[in-house]
Amino acid sequence: MEVEMTIRGLMLDPTSNMPIVILKDVGGETVLEMEKVSTPRPMTHDLIKNVLMGLETKVHKVVVTELREDTFYAVIWLDHGGEVISIDSRPSDALALALRVDCPIYVDELVFKASKLAASASDRLTSEDLRKYLEGLSDDDLGKYKM
């Protein structure tokens, strides 16, 4: 079963300086932090969006499908003239594309079970804690990692 998520934020791990994408359950308070997510230059995702539009192909949804050996996996689901096509993807690429085409984001429930970083939002950061953290980031911090 898949759980619809939204991107709640992007943070930096203060120890490793690696980006962490924070996803939040649309219908509840579950939060998933995805560490070690590389965020390549955004121009590539704009190109993919433009190519898909040119081919009259719609991004139906993206799904973070698996967490195996500390690596997240994702699938981009496309609709081309009624034909459903699944494309293997890095989660960072799938999420960046989802933001550009405004499609739903899902995480398979098994990912939550496999993740040490999945928890109820009430057990993790409150909205106020997250707001304070994000307000404390400089322009340089935010400019390093784009989606």
What pTM was estimated for this model as a whole? 0.62
Q: Is 84 helix (H, G, I), strand (E, B) or coil?
A: strand
Is residue 118 situated within a structural domain? yes
Could you tell me what percentage of the chain is helix, strand and coil, using 3-state DSSP and rounding each to the nearest 5? 30, 40, 30
Q: Which amino acid is at 52?
A: L
pLDDT tens digits, residue range 33-83?
887 666 555 568 888 999 999 999 999 999 999 988 888 999 999 999 999
Is residue 33 situated within a structural domain? yes
H or E stretch at 133: helix 127-135
Report the number of distinct structural domains present in the chain. Answer: 1
Is residue 146 situated within a structural domain? no
Residue 55, domain CATH: 3.10.690.10
Is residue 145 situated within a structural domain? no
Is residue 23 situated within a structural domain? yes
**Residue from 57, 93, 53 nearest 75 by CA:** 93
Is residue 48 situated within a structural domain? yes
Is residue 139 situated within a structural domain? no
**Highest mean pLDDT: which range of 104-108, 115-119, 129-133:** 104-108
Do 73 and 66 touch, CB atoms closer than 8 A? yes
Give the C-alpha separation, 145 to 147, whole Å.
7
Is residue 94 situated within a structural domain? yes
The two most distant CA atoms of the chain are separated, in Å, by: 47
Host domain of residue 102: 2-134
Do 31 and 119 touch, CB atoms closer than 8 A? yes
